[in-house]
């Protein structure tokens, strides 16, 4: 298989390359593509140093699979080019997520929705974490509404944001007053309910991504969803406080039993031992960790829980790789069957 990674030098692109190696992803040729300013840079992969090439239309000739780890405007320009040249495309940006004809996929939840499409959109990282945790409950009990508050790490805004958190922390500890560059406010020893730009309805784009994408992935537009997204001074791994109104009555023990068997989920729910998920624990791991499962006192048939996952791994990268693995393994089996 000939694979291209668009945006190979960014935080998400580098994480994707790391996980491709860790999972021993089978490929015959790998093209690392980025902007002209990164051309000539070399990135280690599989024991060799691979050169970064300037992104242009010719780079997709002969490519079987293209991962896009770039902003929406770049995806809008080059995804159609990759498709025209015959590639199967997995796009991480928001460019195509809500287009009705483009499947928005989390493999543990709705892999069958891909159908015959050669373009698959990878959801927002916070959305992925949420739906992996709530989809098993939707299938078993049904869901009327979800209220979710996210506590999102600096890495969700890229490598420059992580550097800003580090430098500002050092500055504050020295008695200085850091000045924000990447973020609208200082991030060190601080938090703010502002991720992406604000919309006319008072929500941010990030919050509405969670609302709209969750409904599309779960396949039910009737579910009522509200979201508040908060940036916190954590390097990586997003946390979410999730409050759900189920359609059917279910005990806390029944909810735990469903989640314990759910694909991609790992339970950490022994409060008597101070056992519950944290960003430090989840960093570098692939699972979506769930704990603090309890009755929600505000909803009929309400369940509250605490969900944490490394958004650079599962949220931004592993999800895309899992899509590719399952799609191409299926194609391989089909060819073998013939």
CATH number of the domain encompassing residue 24: 3.40.50.720
Based on the domain organization, do 105 and 19 belong to the same domain? Answer: yes
Higher-pLDDT residue of 315, 188:
188
How many Å apart are CA 279 and CA 275, to the nearest integer?
13
Q: Is 243 a catalytic residue?
A: no
- pLDDT-derived band at 227 (thresholds 50, 70, 90) equals very high
How many Å apart are CA 234 and CA 165, to the nearest integer?
8
Based on the domain organization, do 285 and 139 belong to the same domain? Answer: yes
- pLDDT-derived band at 91 (thresholds 50, 70, 90) equals very high
Among residues 149, 194, 229, 238, which one is catalytic? 238
- pLDDT-derived band at 158 (thresholds 50, 70, 90) equals confident
101 has a pLDDT exceeding 70: yes
Give the per-residue pLDDT at 333: 72
338 has a pLDDT exceeding 70: no
- Domain limits at 226? 127-311
Q: Which of 202, 97, 206, 219 is nearest to 148 (CA)?
A: 206
* Total tally of structural domains belonging to the chain: 2
Residues 34-72 have pLDDT tens digits of: 999 999 899 999 999 999 999 999 999 999 999 999 999
- 304 — phi, psi (to 5°)? -115, 145
Q: Is 149 a catalytic residue?
A: no
How many Å apart are CA 16 and CA 69, to the nearest integer?
9
Based on the domain organization, do 170 and 222 belong to the same domain? Answer: yes
* Interstrand relation of 288-295 and 302-309 (parallel, antiparallel or unpaired): antiparallel
Based on the domain organization, do 221 and 197 belong to the same domain? Answer: yes
Among residues 125, 149, 185, 229, which one is catalytic? 125
């Amino acid at each position: 298989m000939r694979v291209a990674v668009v945006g190979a030098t960014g935080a998400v692109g580098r994480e994707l390359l790391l996980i491709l190696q860790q999972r021993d992803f089978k490929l015959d040729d790998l093209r690392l593509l980025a902007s002209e300013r990164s051309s000539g840079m070399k990135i280690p992969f599989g024991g060799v140093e691979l050169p970064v090439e300037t992104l242009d239309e010719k780079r997709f000739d002969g490519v079987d699979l293209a991962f896009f780890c770039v902003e929406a405007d770049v995806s809008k320009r080059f995804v159609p080019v990759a498709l025209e040249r015959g590639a199967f495309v997995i796009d991480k940006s928001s460019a195509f997520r809500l287009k009705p004809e483009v499947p928005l996929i989390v493999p543990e939840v709705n892999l069958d929705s891909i159908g015959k499409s050669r373009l698959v959109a990878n959801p927002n990282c916070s959305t992925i974490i949420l739906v992996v945790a709530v989809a098993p409950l939707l299938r078993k009990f049904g869901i009327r509404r979800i209220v979710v508050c996210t506590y999102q790490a600096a890495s969700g805004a890229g490598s420059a944001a992580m550097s800003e958190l580090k430098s500002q922390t050092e500055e504050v500890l020295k008695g200085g007053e850091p000045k924000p560059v990447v973020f609208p406010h200082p991030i060190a020893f601080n938090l703010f309910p502002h991720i992406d730009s604000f919309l006319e309805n008072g929500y941010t784009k990030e919050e509405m991504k969670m609302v709209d994408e969750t409904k599309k992935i779960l396949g039910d537009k009737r579910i009522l969803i509200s979201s508040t997204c908060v940036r916190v001074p954590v390097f990586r791994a997003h946390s979410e406080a999730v409050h759900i109104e189920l359609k059917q009555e279910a005990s806390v023990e029944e909810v735990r039993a469903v989640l314990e068997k759910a694909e991609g989920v790992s339970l950490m729910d022994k409060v008597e031992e101070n056992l519950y998920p944290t960003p430090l624990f989840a960093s570098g791991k692939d699972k979506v960790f769930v704990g603090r499962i309890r009755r929600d006192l505000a909803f009929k048939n309400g369940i509250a829980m605490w969900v944490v996952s490394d958004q650079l791994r599962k949220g931004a990268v592993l999800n895309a790789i899992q899509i590719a693995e399952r799609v191409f393994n299926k194609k391989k089996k089909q060819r073998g069957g013939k």
